[in-house]
């Protein structure tokens, strides 16, 4: 993630990191409300509500219309997407390299963020998925099992199965707790 994206992520979570602001956002998602209404519903003092609302408005999560405030659902959704966009690369089927068969398989089994929807049951399809994953391992580099797990986690929470499939298919070798790419 670049510096701008890091700041966006921090600001998004700062804005919603307070339980009172989170409750306000929840109430404002249901209906527009005045600061006074929020103070009464949440049983907190009006100046405190105004302070929280100004922060939510500043970060673009809440809009003010006259004396009422309302949650900007589109802005919240957009900020959440932007905040989390750098966590995984976006993958499109047409951007993938390899034979046409691999492209079709990957289009069927990959989420837009590059993670696996599920493991293919057919060996040929599984091999296509594994060929896509294999480049995260550098040739000639030995990896501890913990490092392998960390690299595979971004593709699927069941990294142990992925690791086993890569070894079983002869794409990774292992000995004495070390793994390496077989080319």
pTM above 0.75, yes or no: no
52 pLDDT tier (thresholds 50, 70, 90):
very high
Question: Domain extents for the chain?
Answer: 3-85, 99-181
107 pLDDT tier (thresholds 50, 70, 90):
confident
In the chain, which ranges are E strands? Answer: 33-34, 62-65, 68-71, 142-144, 172-175, 178-181
In the predicted structure, residue 151 carries a pLDDT above the cut 50: yes
Question: What is the DSSP secondary-structure string of 150-170?
Answer: HHHHTT-S-HHHHHHHHHHTT
- Tens of pLDDT, residues 137-147: 999 999 999 99
Q: What is the mean pLDDT of residues 71-81?
A: 79
Sign of the dihedral defined by the CA atoms of residues 41, 42, 48, 54, in that order = negative
In the chain the first and final C-alpha atoms are separated, in Å, by 31
In the predicted structure, residue 33 carries a pLDDT above the cut 50: yes
Query: Given this model, what pLDDT does residue 5 score?
Result: 66
Q: What percent of the chain has pLDDT over 90?
A: 50
- What fold does the segment set 3-85 form as a domain? Arc Repressor Mutant, subunit A (1.10.10)
- Asked if 38 and 49 touch (Cβ cutoff 8 Å), the reply is yes
Q: What is the mean pLDDT of residues 74-85?
A: 72
152 pLDDT tier (thresholds 50, 70, 90):
very high
């Amino acid at each position: 993630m670049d510096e701008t994206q890091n700041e966006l992520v921090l600001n998004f979570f700062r804005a919603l990191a307070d339980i009172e602001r989170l409750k306000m956002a929840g109430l404002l998602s249901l209906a527009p409300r005045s600061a006074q209404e929020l103070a009464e519903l949440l049983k907190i003092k009006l100046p405190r509500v105004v302070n929280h609302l100004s922060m939510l408005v500043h970060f673009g999560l809440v809009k003010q219309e006259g004396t009422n405030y309302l949650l900007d659902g589109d802005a919240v959704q957009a900020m959440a997407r932007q905040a989390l966009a750098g966590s995984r690369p976006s993958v499109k089927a047409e951007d993938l390299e390899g034979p046409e068969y691999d492209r079709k398989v990957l289009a069927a089994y990959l989420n837009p963020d590059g993670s696996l929807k599920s493991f293919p049951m057919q060996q040929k399809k599984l091999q296509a998925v594994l060929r896509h994953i294999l480049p995260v391992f550098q040739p000639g580099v030995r990896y501890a099992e913990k490092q392998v797990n960390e690299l595979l986690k971004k593709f699927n929470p069941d990294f142990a199965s992925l690791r086993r499939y890569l070894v079983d298919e002869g794409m990774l070798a292992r000995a004495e707790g070390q793994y390496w790419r077989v080319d």
